[in-house]
């Protein structure tokens, strides 16, 4: 019996960890306690199994492992992006965006749902924090959607799903953690995840479009009296044409000086020009633009500029993700100050929330280091690798099994917990099968996104439940009594979007180029085709003869070999004359 336990200590340890977490112990302490407990057991059982490589001196490695966590520069991006997102959420940017985009899409059936998805993608690209996005959109847009007759399940599902886009659209926090755990560049992970994130946003909008035809009464257009900014789409289109013309002129003017960079500089000039014109038009009341065009330009351009400041500099190689996060944090402070909403209370609450999240991540990572020390000591990584690589179907079977495992564990575990516990076990097997780890990481990130939407444990559903009305309330604008949103309606609204996320996982497997474009279009050189030829001496030895035919003499005086007949030897050029290069 003891021999059996010793030989199977790795699976017993893994199952024990799951039991610890299901009982309800905090994940960080479950990891550390499980690791230390099985370290003691492993040391005692080491004489009974050759697969256990544990001894008491191995504990001396823990301080070095903890120091490796503390000194990891990549993880510095997490507090920067968290602080940026919370400051932006406190600055009222989400409220302004939802109001403006809702007015822009208002005349369209399902327009408010489109606006929520569009703003969710923008918030994802600026905040990267799911909780902030879901709570902000739940507080602002849910009452408006209920006021104008939206189906409660559809409205709840759209808000929760749009908030989870912060999981996969850069600068996502989970992508930072995945890149760190996989040992890959955060910039590459961001570049690989961008297109899948945009495709997923398009699938969400496609679902809203489909439902607007199937259930026309479930998502009506905004009534005319609710469109406070009036019409003015034509004015907005004219403004965009003017901005494009100005950008093209700037590009032509700057091309001789800046070359390829003139594209970006010209576009920046065009955007800045139309933004300044909108500000002047509003301040002077010239009314060159409609109110709608003014509001869209003034509200949209600052967050788009912040996105370019953060992601643009990372993708262009100007800044690292940590530096991009720092610039984003400063940009968020500037935007909040420009709106007059920057105060010590905002900074204090943002710092407190950032500290809590960063400490949460750090403690889980330290616990994972303790767990992995023991798990690797009992050859658990080899057990997992053999288990996964032996799956029928090769690479395809491995991907199906891994995604099914992550999807199931997402019912119970948060994405940070999945990233720190499961990913380090899966990465070696994926690497051994020849799977690109950036693509594998993005695939897992999309799958982990479902952890926020799973009924009944999805965190996005909990966030929305916390701000959705639980009892009937009196609408302040219409004066009518509005029924509450039930937990069942929130759960049923999430189900279609979980299915869309699973579809996105399948599309990423079927079309890997959506992610693999991060490698660029450069030609790949096969090292096996490279040949190195070492030149010899003389005309017969490979061509390293000196100019003018100056060569080593024939024969070898060291072994007594006589030189060849001088008459037959090549004539030596007169060194007094310039050498011939013919």
Residue 534 has pLDDT above 70, yes or no: no
Residue 530 has pLDDT above 80, yes or no: no
* pLDDT value of residue 558: 46
* pLDDT value of residue 508: 92
Q: What is the pLDDT of residues 191-250, one digit of tens each?
A: 899 999 999 999 999 999 999 888 888 888 877 766 766 677 888 889 999 999 999 999
* pLDDT value of residue 111: 86
Residue 566 has pLDDT above 80, yes or no: no
What is the Cα–Cα distance from 278 to 275, expressed in whole angstroms?
A: 5
Helix pair angle (93-105, 291-307), 10° resolution: 130
- Tell me how far CA of residue 142 lies from CA of 3, 404, 445, in angstroms: 60, 33, 27
CA nearest neighbour of 436 among 515, 510, 525: 515
Mean pLDDT for 559-581 is 51
Mean pLDDT for 386-396 is 75
* pLDDT value of residue 267: 85
* pLDDT value of residue 229: 67
Mean pLDDT for 291-318 is 84
Instruction: With cut-offs at 50, 70 and 90, classify the pLDDT of residue 533.
Output: low
The lowest-confidence range among 135-139, 340-344, 384-388, 482-486 is 384-388
* pLDDT value of residue 70: 78
What is the Cα–Cα distance from 352 to 83, expressed in whole angstroms?
A: 9
Helix pair angle (394-409, 487-510), 10° resolution: 160
* pLDDT value of residue 442: 92
Q: What's the chain's average pLDDT?
A: 80
SS3 553: coil
Residue 524 has pLDDT above 80, yes or no: no
* pLDDT value of residue 210: 92
What is the Cα–Cα distance from 140 to 146, expressed in whole angstroms?
A: 11
- Tell me how far CA of residue 580 lies from CA of 57, 164, 552, 553, 572, in angstroms: 73, 75, 17, 19, 11
Residue 301 has pLDDT above 70, yes or no: yes
- Check: CB of residue 446 under 8 Å from CB of residue 515: no
Q: What is the pLDDT of residues 149-164, one digit of tens each?
A: 888 899 999 998 988 8
Helix locations, 390-526, DSSP H: 394-409, 415-421, 423-432, 437-448, 459-467, 487-510, 513-516
Instruction: With cut-offs at 50, 70 and 90, classify the pLDDT of residue 127.
Output: low
Report the helix count and the strand count for the chain, using DSSP H and E: 25, 2
- Check: CB of residue 247 under 8 Å from CB of residue 255: no
Q: What global pTM score does this model have?
A: 0.75
- How many Cβ atoms are within 10 Å of 23's Cβ, its own excluded? 8
Q: What is the pLDDT of residues 5-43, one digit of tens each?
A: 877 788 888 888 878 877 777 878 888 888 888 888 888
* pLDDT value of residue 241: 92
- Check: CB of residue 172 under 8 Å from CB of residue 445: yes
Mean pLDDT for 529-547 is 51
The lowest-confidence range among 276-280, 303-307, 348-352, 541-545 is 541-545
What percentage of residues in the chain have a pLDDT greater than 70? 87
Q: What is the pLDDT of residues 73-114, one digit of tens each?
A: 777 888 888 888 788 777 777 778 878 888 888 788 888 899
Q: What is the pLDDT of residues 438-472, one digit of tens each?
A: 999 999 988 888 877 877 777 788 888 888 888 88
């Amino acid at each position: 019996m003891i021999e059996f336990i010793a030989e199977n200590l790795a699976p017993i340890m893994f199952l024990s960890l799951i039991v610890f977490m299901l009982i309800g112990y905090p994940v960080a302490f479950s990891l550390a306690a499980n690791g230390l407990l099985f370290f003691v057991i492993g040391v005692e059982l080491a004489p009974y199994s050759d697969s256990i490589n544990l001894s008491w001196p191995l504990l001396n490695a823990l301080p070095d492992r903890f120091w490796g966590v503390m000194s990891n520069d990549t993880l510095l991006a997490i507090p920067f992006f968290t602080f940026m997102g919370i400051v932006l959420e406190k600055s009222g940017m989400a409220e302004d965006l939802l109001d403006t985009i809702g007015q822009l899409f208002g005349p369209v059936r399902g327009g408010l749902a489109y606006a929520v998805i569009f703003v969710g993608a923008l918030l994802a690209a600026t905040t990267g924090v799911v909780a902030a996005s879901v709570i902000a959109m739940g507080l602002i847009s849910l009452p408006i959607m209920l006021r104008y007759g939206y189906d409660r399940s559809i409205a709840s599902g759209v808000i929760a799903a749009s908030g989870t886009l912060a999981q996969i659209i850069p600068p996502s926090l989970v992508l930072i953690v995945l890149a760190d755990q996989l040992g890959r560049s955060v910039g590459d992970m961001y570049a690989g995840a961008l297109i899948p994130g945009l495709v997923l946003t398009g699938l969400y909008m496609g679902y809203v479009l489909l439902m607007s035809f199937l259930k026309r009464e479930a998502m009506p257009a905004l009534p005319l009296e609710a469109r406070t900014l009036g019409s003015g789409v034509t004015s907005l289109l004219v403004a965009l044409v003017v901005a494009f013309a100005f950008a093209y002129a700037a590009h032509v003017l700057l091309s001789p000086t800046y070359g390829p960079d003139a594209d970006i500089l010209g576009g920046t000039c065009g955007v800045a020009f139309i933004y300044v014109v909108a500000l002047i038009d509003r301040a002077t009341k010239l009314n060159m633009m409609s109110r709608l065009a003014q509001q869209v330009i003034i509200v949209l351009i600052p967050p788009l500029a912040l996105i370019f400041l953060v992601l643009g500099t990372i993708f262009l190689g100007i800044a690292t993700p940590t530096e991009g996060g720092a610039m984003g944090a400063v940009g968020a402070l500037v935007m909040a100050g420009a709106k007059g909403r920057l105060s010590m209370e905002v900074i204090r609450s943002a710092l407190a929330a950032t500290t809590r999240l960063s400490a949460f991540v750090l403690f889980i990572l330290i616990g994972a280091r303790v767990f992995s020390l023991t798990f690797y000591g009992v050859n658990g990584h080899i057990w997992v690798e053999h288990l996964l690589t032996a799956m029928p179907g090769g690479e395809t079977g491995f991907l199906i099994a891994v995604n099914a495992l992550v999807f199931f564990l997402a019912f119970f575990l948060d994405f940070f917990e999945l990233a720190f516990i499961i990913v380090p076990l899966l990465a070696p097997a994926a690497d051994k099968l020849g799977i690109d780890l950036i693509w594998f990481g993005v695939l897992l990130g999309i799958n982990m996104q479902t952890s926020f939407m799973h009924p009944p444990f999805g965190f996005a559903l909990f966030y929305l439940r916390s701000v959705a009305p639980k009892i009937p309330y009196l609408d302040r604008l219409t004066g009518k009594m509005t029924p509450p949103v039930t937990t069942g309606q929130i759960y049923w609204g999430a189900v279609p979007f979980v299915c869309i996320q699973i579809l996105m996982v399948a599309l990423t497997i079927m079309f890997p180029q959506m992610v693999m474009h991060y490698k660029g279009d450069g030609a790949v050189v096969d090292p096996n085709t490279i040949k190195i030829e070492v030149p010899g001496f003389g005309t017969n030895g490979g061509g390293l003869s000196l100019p003018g035919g100056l060569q080593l003499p024939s024969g070898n005086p060291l072994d007594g070999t006589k030189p060849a007949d001088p008459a037959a030897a090549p004539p030596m050029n007169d060194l007094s004359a310039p050498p011939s290069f013919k």
